[in-house]
Chains A and B, each alone.
Chain A
């Protein structure tokens, strides 16, 4: 299995809802990432998990809460989002951030719309 999967593909939620995004990889990678991408912009890093521990949090608002239950799974819990949080949320994984290189493999993304 050489891919990163994400569910759901599309999500519409109200500002009072609680939802979760899920990401899975079975490549044995030990680093996993959440990115946010607005239209016509590059991806922006949100969180990095390295060996199931949160190693980078790029000053993301607390309404986004990441979780890494095991080395293959990464979740992003959403609560009380704002309309400006509408974006494509991309998950990625890489063998490990301290390797000689850090090629990241991206999932297909979740298109999130906050009403």
Chain B
């Protein structure tokens, strides 16, 4: 059974600081996704990571994937209040007919 673990589950940061969210998964997969969810809203796709060593950056967020360690990271640089949201990683297995397994989510709060 594929399990996806995120940590931390809660993260309170000050503006301007850097931090990293970790996503571990339990079985072989070569496709990992990061989503953002604002309170009461839907999920917004942030990154799709498809291969070992993949690194993608968008603004203050950078995501990476290490398939050998079964680990993805979401790094936040110089956080701003607008980044406050819940971040989910999700994994699927090729040929699984699209069954995404989500981590529990990391609730990020960026304070001035």
Number of interface residues of A (CB under 8 A): 27
**Contacts across chains A and B counted by CB atoms under 8 Å:** 62
Mark the stretch among A12-20, A71-79, A102-110 that contacts chain B: A102-110
Residue of A nearest to B35 (CB): A106
B binding-site residues for A, Cβ under 8 Å: 31, 33, 35, 40-45, 48, 50, 88, 92, 95-100, 102-105, 107
Q: B42 contacts A42, CB within 8 Å?
A: no
Chain B interface secondary structure, helix, strand, loop or mixed? loop
Q: Is A94 an interface residue (CB 8 A)?
A: yes
Contact with B along A16-41 (1 / 0, CB 8 A): 00000000000000010100000011
Q: A105 contacts B45, CB within 8 Å?
A: yes
A33 and B42 alpha carbons, distance in the complex (Å): 14
Q: B104 contacts A106, CB within 8 Å?
A: no
Residue of B33, B88, B96, B98 ringed by the most chain A CB atoms within 10 A: B98
26 contacts between A and B (CB under 8 A): A33-B98, A40-B107, A42-B102, A42-B103, A45-B99, A48-B99, A50-B97, A90-B43, A92-B43, A94-B98, A97-B98, A98-B95, A101-B48, A102-B98, A102-B100, A103-B45, A103-B48, A104-B100, A105-B45, A106-B35, A106-B42, A106-B43, A106-B44, A106-B45, A108-B41, A109-B41
